[in-house]
Protein backbone atom coordinates (compact mmCIF):
# COMPACT_ATOMS: atom_id res chain seq x y z
CA UNK A 1 0.00 0.00 0.00
CA UNK A 2 2.79 2.40 0.97
CA UNK A 3 5.80 1.81 -1.29
CA UNK A 4 8.30 3.61 0.91
CA UNK A 5 6.80 2.77 4.29
CA UNK A 6 9.55 0.52 5.51
CA UNK A 7 12.00 3.42 5.42
CA UNK A 8 9.94 5.28 8.03
CA UNK A 9 8.68 2.45 10.23
CA UNK A 10 8.62 3.29 13.94
CA UNK A 11 6.74 2.44 17.12
CA UNK A 12 5.06 5.81 17.73
CA UNK A 13 1.60 4.78 16.57
CA UNK A 14 -0.15 6.75 19.32
CA UNK A 15 0.99 9.90 21.13
CA UNK A 16 3.47 9.33 23.92
CA UNK A 17 3.69 12.23 26.40
CA UNK A 18 6.13 12.14 29.29
CA UNK A 19 4.37 13.91 32.14
CA UNK A 20 4.81 13.60 35.90
CA UNK A 21 1.81 15.71 36.85
CA UNK A 22 3.91 18.48 38.34
CA UNK A 23 2.63 21.97 37.63
CA UNK A 24 4.44 23.73 34.83
CA UNK A 25 6.32 20.69 33.52
CA UNK A 26 4.16 20.16 30.43
CA UNK A 27 3.85 22.63 27.61
CA UNK A 28 0.79 22.14 25.44
CA UNK A 29 1.71 21.84 21.76
CA UNK A 30 -0.78 24.48 20.58
CA UNK A 31 -3.60 26.74 21.75
CA UNK A 32 -6.25 24.05 21.41
CA UNK A 33 -4.48 21.57 23.67
CA UNK A 34 -3.66 24.32 26.14
CA UNK A 35 -7.34 25.16 26.43
CA UNK A 36 -8.32 21.50 26.78
CA UNK A 37 -5.70 21.00 29.48
CA UNK A 38 -7.08 23.92 31.51
CA UNK A 39 -10.64 22.64 31.10
CA UNK A 40 -9.56 19.16 32.19
CA UNK A 41 -7.83 20.56 35.28
CA UNK A 42 -11.00 22.35 36.45
CA UNK A 43 -13.29 19.45 35.48
CA UNK A 44 -15.18 21.40 32.82
CA UNK A 45 -16.01 18.36 30.72
CA UNK A 46 -19.00 19.96 28.96
CA UNK A 47 -16.98 22.98 27.83
CA UNK A 48 -14.24 20.55 26.81
CA UNK A 49 -16.84 18.76 24.66
CA UNK A 50 -17.98 22.04 23.13
CA UNK A 51 -14.37 22.78 22.16
CA UNK A 52 -14.14 19.39 20.43
CA UNK A 53 -17.36 20.18 18.56
CA UNK A 54 -15.80 23.40 17.24
CA UNK A 55 -12.52 21.83 16.14
CA UNK A 56 -13.13 18.17 15.33
CA UNK A 57 -10.82 15.27 16.19
CA UNK A 58 -8.70 12.59 14.53
CA UNK A 59 -9.02 8.85 14.90
CA UNK A 60 -6.53 6.11 13.98
CA UNK A 61 -7.21 3.55 11.27
CA UNK A 62 -5.06 0.99 9.42
CA UNK A 63 -4.01 2.53 6.12
CA UNK A 64 -5.58 -0.25 4.06
CA UNK A 65 -8.97 0.56 5.65
CA UNK A 66 -8.72 4.33 5.23
CA UNK A 67 -11.54 6.00 3.32
CA UNK A 68 -12.80 9.53 2.76
CA UNK A 69 -16.32 8.44 3.76
CA UNK A 70 -16.58 8.28 7.57
CA UNK A 71 -19.59 5.97 7.37
CA UNK A 72 -17.37 3.31 5.77
CA UNK A 73 -14.63 3.46 8.41
CA UNK A 74 -14.03 0.84 11.05
CA UNK A 75 -12.94 2.61 14.22
CA UNK A 76 -10.28 0.89 16.28
CA UNK A 77 -11.57 -0.34 19.62
CA UNK A 78 -10.10 -2.06 22.63
CA UNK A 79 -11.31 -3.40 25.95
CA UNK A 80 -10.27 -2.25 29.40
CA UNK A 81 -11.27 -3.52 32.82
CA UNK A 82 -11.89 -0.81 35.38
CA UNK A 83 -11.31 -0.80 39.11
CA UNK A 84 -14.93 -1.88 39.46
CA UNK A 85 -14.13 -5.09 37.62
CA UNK A 86 -16.32 -4.20 34.64
CA UNK A 87 -14.86 -4.60 31.15
CA UNK A 88 -15.71 -1.76 28.78
CA UNK A 89 -15.12 -1.19 25.08
CA UNK A 90 -13.33 2.06 24.28
CA UNK A 91 -12.25 3.97 21.20
CA UNK A 92 -9.62 6.72 21.08
CA UNK A 93 -9.52 10.08 19.29
CA UNK A 94 -6.98 12.90 19.42
CA UNK A 95 -6.74 16.59 18.71
CA UNK A 96 -4.38 17.83 16.01
CA UNK A 97 -1.52 19.04 18.17
CA UNK A 98 -1.08 15.69 19.89
CA UNK A 99 -0.89 13.50 16.80
CA UNK A 100 2.38 11.50 16.56
CA UNK A 101 4.77 11.54 13.63
CA UNK A 102 3.19 9.89 10.57
CA UNK A 103 3.27 6.12 10.64
CA UNK A 104 3.51 4.08 7.44
CA UNK A 105 0.69 1.67 8.24
CA UNK A 106 -1.58 3.44 10.75
CA UNK A 107 -3.03 6.80 9.70
CA UNK A 108 -5.30 9.39 11.30
CA UNK A 109 -8.56 10.54 9.77
CA UNK A 110 -10.35 13.78 10.63
CA UNK A 111 -13.90 13.54 11.94
CA UNK A 112 -16.40 15.93 13.47
CA UNK A 113 -18.10 15.26 16.76
CA UNK A 114 -21.46 15.00 15.02
CA UNK A 115 -20.24 12.40 12.55
CA UNK A 116 -18.53 10.51 15.36
CA UNK A 117 -21.90 10.26 17.11
CA UNK A 118 -23.32 8.63 13.98
CA UNK A 119 -20.60 6.09 13.22
CA UNK A 120 -19.39 4.95 16.64
CA UNK A 121 -20.14 1.21 16.86
CA UNK A 122 -22.98 0.44 19.28
CA UNK A 123 -20.69 -1.72 21.41
CA UNK A 124 -18.45 1.25 22.33
CA UNK A 125 -18.98 2.30 25.95
CA UNK A 126 -16.36 5.02 26.36
CA UNK A 127 -14.77 7.66 24.13
CA UNK A 128 -11.24 8.52 25.26
CA UNK A 129 -9.94 11.87 24.01
CA UNK A 130 -6.17 12.44 23.96
CA UNK A 131 -5.45 9.20 25.80
CA UNK A 132 -2.35 9.06 28.00
CA UNK A 133 -1.75 12.82 27.75
CA UNK A 134 -2.16 15.57 30.33
CA UNK A 135 -5.41 16.70 28.71
CA UNK A 136 -7.08 13.27 28.55
CA UNK A 137 -10.83 13.23 28.99
CA UNK A 138 -13.33 10.36 28.91
CA UNK A 139 -16.96 10.43 27.85
CA UNK A 140 -19.56 7.76 28.37
CA UNK A 141 -21.18 6.72 25.11
CA UNK A 142 -24.94 6.15 25.12
CA UNK A 143 -27.89 7.35 23.07
CA UNK A 144 -28.37 10.49 25.15
CA UNK A 145 -24.69 11.41 24.87
CA UNK A 146 -24.73 10.90 21.10
CA UNK A 147 -27.66 13.32 20.85
CA UNK A 148 -25.67 15.90 22.81
CA UNK A 149 -22.74 15.51 20.41
CA UNK A 150 -25.00 15.90 17.39
CA UNK A 151 -26.62 19.04 18.84
CA UNK A 152 -23.25 20.59 19.67
CA UNK A 153 -22.00 19.87 16.17
CA UNK A 154 -25.04 21.54 14.66
CA UNK A 155 -24.59 24.56 16.91
CA UNK A 156 -20.83 25.03 16.81
CA UNK A 157 -19.02 23.42 13.90
CA UNK A 158 -18.12 25.82 11.10
CA UNK A 159 -15.31 24.65 8.79
CA UNK A 160 -14.67 28.25 7.71
CA UNK A 161 -13.69 29.10 11.28
CA UNK A 162 -10.81 26.62 10.98
CA UNK A 163 -9.28 28.46 8.01
CA UNK A 164 -7.62 31.86 7.53
CA UNK A 165 -5.87 31.73 10.89
CA UNK A 166 -2.31 31.61 12.18
CA UNK A 167 -1.48 28.39 14.04
CA UNK A 168 1.94 27.99 15.63
CA UNK A 169 3.15 24.88 17.42
CA UNK A 170 4.93 25.50 20.70
CA UNK A 171 6.50 22.05 20.80
CA UNK A 172 7.84 19.66 18.18
CA UNK A 173 9.02 22.30 15.71
CA UNK A 174 12.52 22.05 14.23
CA UNK A 175 15.32 24.19 15.58
CA UNK A 176 16.19 27.44 13.76
CA UNK A 177 17.85 26.65 10.45
CA UNK A 178 16.98 25.67 6.88
CA UNK A 179 14.15 23.31 7.89
CA UNK A 180 12.30 25.89 9.96
CA UNK A 181 12.97 28.55 7.33
CA UNK A 182 11.64 26.27 4.60
CA UNK A 183 8.48 25.64 6.63
CA UNK A 184 8.00 29.41 6.98
CA UNK A 185 8.09 29.67 3.17
CA UNK A 186 4.78 27.77 3.08
CA UNK A 187 3.09 30.07 5.57
CA UNK A 188 0.62 31.60 3.07
CA UNK A 189 -1.01 28.23 2.47
CA UNK A 190 -0.80 27.22 6.13
CA UNK A 191 -2.62 30.40 7.09
CA UNK A 192 -5.28 29.93 4.42
CA UNK A 193 -5.90 26.31 5.39
CA UNK A 194 -5.62 26.92 9.14
CA UNK A 195 -2.69 24.51 9.45
CA UNK A 196 0.25 24.81 11.86
CA UNK A 197 3.07 26.35 9.85
CA UNK A 198 5.98 24.93 11.84
CA UNK A 199 5.26 21.21 12.20
CA UNK A 200 6.98 18.37 10.36
CA UNK A 201 4.62 15.72 11.78
CA UNK A 202 2.10 16.36 9.04
CA UNK A 203 -1.46 14.99 9.14
CA UNK A 204 -3.24 17.97 7.60
CA UNK A 205 -6.94 17.38 7.11
CA UNK A 206 -6.53 13.64 7.72
CA UNK A 207 -4.98 10.95 5.55
CA UNK A 208 -7.79 10.43 3.05
CA UNK A 209 -8.38 14.17 2.70
CA UNK A 210 -4.69 14.71 1.96
CA UNK A 211 -4.79 12.00 -0.71
CA UNK A 212 -7.93 13.55 -2.19
CA UNK A 213 -6.46 17.06 -2.11
CA UNK A 214 -3.45 15.99 -4.15
CA UNK A 215 -5.53 14.09 -6.69
CA UNK A 216 -8.22 16.73 -7.21
CA UNK A 217 -6.05 19.86 -7.10
CA UNK A 218 -2.80 18.55 -8.54
CA UNK A 219 -3.57 15.35 -10.45
CA UNK A 220 -1.27 13.43 -8.07
CA UNK A 221 -2.36 9.89 -7.32
CA UNK A 222 0.92 8.05 -6.75
CA UNK A 223 4.36 8.43 -5.29
CA UNK A 224 5.77 8.87 -8.79
CA UNK A 225 3.35 11.73 -9.48
CA UNK A 226 4.34 13.41 -6.25
CA UNK A 227 8.07 13.08 -6.93
CA UNK A 228 7.65 14.65 -10.38
CA UNK A 229 5.48 17.54 -9.18
CA UNK A 230 7.69 18.24 -6.17
CA UNK A 231 10.76 18.44 -8.41
CA UNK A 232 9.03 20.73 -10.91
CA UNK A 233 7.95 23.08 -8.12
CA UNK A 234 11.46 23.18 -6.69
CA UNK A 235 12.80 24.06 -10.13
CA UNK A 236 10.03 26.67 -10.62
CA UNK A 237 8.72 24.89 -13.70
CA UNK A 238 5.04 24.60 -12.75
CA UNK A 239 4.16 28.26 -13.32
CA UNK A 240 4.09 29.43 -16.98
CA UNK A 241 7.57 30.36 -18.16
CA UNK A 242 6.41 33.61 -19.74
CA UNK A 243 5.53 35.24 -16.39
CA UNK A 244 9.19 35.51 -15.45
CA UNK A 245 10.13 36.14 -19.08
CA UNK A 246 8.08 39.33 -19.07
CA UNK A 247 9.40 40.37 -15.66
CA UNK A 248 12.92 39.58 -16.82
CA UNK A 249 12.57 41.96 -19.77
CA UNK A 250 11.97 44.82 -17.34
CA UNK A 251 15.00 43.82 -15.27
CA UNK A 252 17.14 43.81 -18.42
CA UNK A 253 15.97 47.33 -19.30
CA UNK A 254 16.62 48.53 -15.76
CA UNK A 255 20.15 47.16 -15.90
CA UNK A 256 20.72 48.70 -19.32
CA UNK A 257 19.83 52.14 -18.01
CA UNK A 258 21.44 51.82 -14.60
CA UNK A 259 18.20 51.64 -12.65
CA UNK A 260 17.41 55.32 -13.16
CA UNK A 261 13.68 55.53 -12.51
CA UNK A 262 10.87 53.19 -13.57
CA UNK A 263 10.96 51.52 -16.97
CA UNK A 264 8.58 53.04 -19.51
CA UNK A 265 5.67 50.68 -20.16
CA UNK A 266 5.88 51.13 -23.94
CA UNK A 267 9.58 50.32 -24.03
CA UNK A 268 8.94 47.30 -21.82
CA UNK A 269 6.25 45.99 -24.18
CA UNK A 270 8.47 46.57 -27.20
CA UNK A 271 11.35 44.75 -25.50
CA UNK A 272 9.13 41.75 -24.76
CA UNK A 273 7.93 41.56 -28.36
CA UNK A 274 11.34 42.10 -29.93
CA UNK A 275 12.96 39.46 -27.74
CA UNK A 276 10.25 36.92 -28.50
CA UNK A 277 10.56 37.57 -32.23
CA UNK A 278 14.28 37.01 -31.94
CA UNK A 279 14.32 33.84 -29.82
CA UNK A 280 11.16 31.96 -30.87
CA UNK A 281 11.64 29.63 -33.82
CA UNK A 282 9.29 30.07 -36.83
CA UNK A 283 7.48 33.07 -35.30
CA UNK A 284 5.07 33.67 -38.19
CA UNK A 285 1.38 32.85 -37.99
CA UNK A 286 -1.81 34.00 -36.27
CA UNK A 287 -1.15 31.97 -33.09
CA UNK A 288 2.19 33.65 -32.55
CA UNK A 289 0.66 37.06 -33.21
CA UNK A 290 -2.01 36.33 -30.59
CA UNK A 291 0.68 35.28 -28.17
CA UNK A 292 2.56 38.54 -28.73
CA UNK A 293 -0.59 40.51 -28.02
CA UNK A 294 -1.08 38.52 -24.80
CA UNK A 295 2.52 39.12 -23.69
CA UNK A 296 2.31 42.84 -24.39
CA UNK A 297 -0.93 42.86 -22.42
CA UNK A 298 0.75 41.10 -19.53
CA UNK A 299 2.98 44.12 -19.04
CA UNK A 300 -0.09 46.20 -18.31
CA UNK A 301 -1.56 43.49 -16.08
CA UNK A 302 1.61 43.35 -13.96
CA UNK A 303 1.75 47.14 -13.70
CA UNK A 304 -1.87 47.31 -12.55
CA UNK A 305 -1.30 44.61 -9.94
CA UNK A 306 1.81 46.39 -8.70
CA UNK A 307 -0.13 49.66 -8.43
CA UNK A 308 -2.75 47.91 -6.28
CA UNK A 309 0.01 46.24 -4.24
CA UNK A 310 1.50 49.66 -3.47
CA UNK A 311 -1.88 51.04 -2.48
CA UNK A 312 -2.30 48.08 -0.11
CA UNK A 313 1.32 48.35 1.12
CA UNK A 314 2.34 44.98 -0.28
CA UNK A 315 5.05 46.90 -2.15
CA UNK A 316 6.90 50.07 -1.25
CA UNK A 317 6.53 53.20 -3.40
CA UNK A 318 9.45 52.31 -5.70
CA UNK A 319 9.38 48.52 -5.43
CA UNK A 320 8.48 46.02 -8.16
CA UNK A 321 8.15 42.25 -8.36
CA UNK A 322 11.34 40.88 -9.89
CA UNK A 323 10.36 37.22 -10.21
CA UNK A 324 7.37 35.07 -9.26
CA UNK A 325 9.53 32.09 -8.29
CA UNK A 326 7.98 32.48 -4.82
CA UNK A 327 4.67 31.10 -6.17
CA UNK A 328 6.23 27.73 -6.99
CA UNK A 329 8.65 27.67 -4.05
CA UNK A 330 5.96 28.55 -1.50
CA UNK A 331 3.77 25.76 -2.82
CA UNK A 332 6.75 23.41 -2.87
CA UNK A 333 7.05 23.88 0.89
CA UNK A 334 3.49 22.66 1.37
CA UNK A 335 3.77 19.99 -1.34
CA UNK A 336 6.53 18.36 0.70
CA UNK A 337 4.19 18.13 3.68
CA UNK A 338 1.17 17.09 1.63
CA UNK A 339 3.25 14.29 0.13
CA UNK A 340 4.23 13.16 3.60
CA UNK A 341 0.64 13.25 4.81
CA UNK A 342 -0.49 11.16 1.83
CA UNK A 343 2.40 8.73 2.46
CA UNK A 344 3.94 9.41 -0.96
CA UNK A 345 7.09 10.92 0.54
CA UNK A 346 9.57 9.58 3.03
CA UNK A 347 10.57 11.71 5.97
CA UNK A 348 14.01 12.25 4.41
CA UNK A 349 12.48 13.34 1.09
CA UNK A 350 10.23 15.84 2.86
CA UNK A 351 13.18 17.25 4.80
CA UNK A 352 15.30 17.55 1.66
CA UNK A 353 12.54 19.30 -0.29
CA UNK A 354 11.86 21.81 2.49
CA UNK A 355 15.56 22.63 2.83
CA UNK A 356 15.80 23.11 -0.94
CA UNK A 357 12.86 25.51 -0.77
CA UNK A 358 14.69 27.51 1.88
CA UNK A 359 17.84 27.70 -0.21
CA UNK A 360 15.91 28.73 -3.32
CA UNK A 361 13.98 31.46 -1.54
CA UNK A 362 17.03 32.91 0.21
CA UNK A 363 19.03 33.01 -3.03
CA UNK A 364 16.22 34.75 -4.92
CA UNK A 365 14.74 37.25 -2.47
CA UNK A 366 16.03 39.67 0.16
CA UNK A 367 13.22 39.69 2.73
CA UNK A 368 9.99 37.99 3.75
CA UNK A 369 8.06 41.00 2.47
CA UNK A 370 9.63 40.75 -0.98
CA UNK A 371 9.07 36.99 -1.08
CA UNK A 372 5.44 37.44 -0.03
CA UNK A 373 4.67 40.12 -2.64
CA UNK A 374 6.06 37.86 -5.35
CA UNK A 375 3.98 34.94 -4.07
CA UNK A 376 0.86 37.11 -4.14
CA UNK A 377 1.66 38.18 -7.70
CA UNK A 378 1.97 34.56 -8.79
CA UNK A 379 -1.32 33.64 -7.15
CA UNK A 380 -3.06 36.59 -8.79
CA UNK A 381 -1.66 35.81 -12.25
CA UNK A 382 -2.77 32.21 -11.79
CA UNK A 383 -6.27 32.72 -10.41
CA UNK A 384 -7.47 36.30 -10.00
CA UNK A 385 -7.80 37.62 -13.59
CA UNK A 386 -7.63 41.22 -12.33
CA UNK A 387 -10.85 40.91 -10.38
CA UNK A 388 -9.08 41.70 -7.10
CA UNK A 389 -11.52 39.26 -5.53
CA UNK A 390 -11.03 36.59 -2.89
CA UNK A 391 -7.96 35.14 -4.60
CA UNK A 392 -6.31 38.48 -3.84
CA UNK A 393 -7.99 39.70 -0.65
CA UNK A 394 -7.51 36.41 1.21
CA UNK A 395 -3.79 36.22 0.54
CA UNK A 396 -3.44 39.95 1.27
CA UNK A 397 -4.86 39.27 4.74
CA UNK A 398 -2.39 36.39 5.17
CA UNK A 399 0.49 38.65 4.10
CA UNK A 400 -0.42 41.26 6.69
CA UNK A 401 -0.89 38.81 9.55
CA UNK A 402 2.27 36.86 8.78
CA UNK A 403 4.38 40.02 8.70
CA UNK A 404 2.88 41.56 11.84
CA UNK A 405 2.01 38.75 14.26
CA UNK A 406 4.65 38.75 17.03
CA UNK A 407 4.74 34.94 17.23
CA UNK A 408 4.28 34.42 13.48
CA UNK A 409 6.85 32.83 11.20
CA UNK A 410 8.15 35.99 9.59
CA UNK A 411 8.70 37.77 12.90
CA UNK A 412 10.46 34.82 14.54
CA UNK A 413 12.42 33.23 11.68
CA UNK A 414 15.20 35.43 10.24
CA UNK A 415 15.01 35.63 6.45
CA UNK A 416 18.74 35.19 5.95
CA UNK A 417 20.47 32.40 7.87
CA UNK A 418 24.01 32.53 9.24
CA UNK A 419 26.65 30.83 7.12
The tens place of each residue's pLDDT in the chain, 419 residues long, gives 444 566 677 777 888 777 666 656 789 999 999 999 999 999 999 999 999 999 999 999 999 999 999 999 989 999 988 888 889 999 999 999 999 999 999 999 999 999 999 999 999 999 999 999 999 999 999 999 999 999 999 999 999 999 999 999 999 899 999 999 999 999 999 999 999 999 999 999 999 999 999 999 999 999 999 999 999 999 999 999 999 999 999 999 999 887 777 899 999 999 999 999 988 876 678 889 899 999 999 999 999 999 999 999 999 999 999 999 999 999 999 999 999 999 999 999 999 999 999 999 999 999 999 999 999 999 999 999 999 999 999 999 999 999 999 989 999 999 999 87
* Pairing of the two strands 78-81 and 106-111: unpaired
pLDDT for residue 246: 98
pLDDT value at position 15? 83
Give the model's pLDDT for residue 374.
98
Q: Three-state DSSP class for 120?
A: coil
Report yes or no: 39 and 133 within 8 Å, Cβ to Cβ: no
Distance CA 88, CA 73 (A): 21
User: DSSP character for 263?
Assistant: P
Sign of CA dihedral 188, 97, 233, 218: negative
Please give the model's pTM, rounded to 2 decimal places: 0.94
The reported pLDDT for the residue numbered 126 is 96
Q: How many CA atoms lie within 13 A of 171 on its CB side?
A: 17
3-state secondary structure of 59: strand
User: Across-strand partners of 138?
Assistant: 128
The predicted pLDDT at position 5 comes to 60
Distance, CA of 124 to CA of 105 (rounded, Å): 24
In the beta sheet, which residues pair with residue 61? Answer: 107
Domain locations in the chain?
5-162, 178-239+325-412, 241-311
The predicted pLDDT at position 202 comes to 96
- Distance of alpha carbon 65 from alpha carbon 46, whole angstroms: 32
- Number of Cβ within 10 Å of residue 14's Cβ equals 18
Amino acid sequence: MYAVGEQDEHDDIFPVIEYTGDEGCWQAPADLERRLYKLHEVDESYTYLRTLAENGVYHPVPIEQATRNPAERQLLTSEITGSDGITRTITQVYTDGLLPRPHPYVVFEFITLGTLADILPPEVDVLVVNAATPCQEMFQVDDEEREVWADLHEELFDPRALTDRLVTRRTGAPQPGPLLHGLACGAHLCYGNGDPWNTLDWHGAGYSAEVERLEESWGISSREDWLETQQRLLECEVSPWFWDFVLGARLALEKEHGGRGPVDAGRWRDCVEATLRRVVEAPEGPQFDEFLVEMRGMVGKILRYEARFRADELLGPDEVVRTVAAWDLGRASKMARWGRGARYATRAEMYDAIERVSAGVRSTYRSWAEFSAAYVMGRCLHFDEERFGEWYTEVLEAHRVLLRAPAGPWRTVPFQLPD
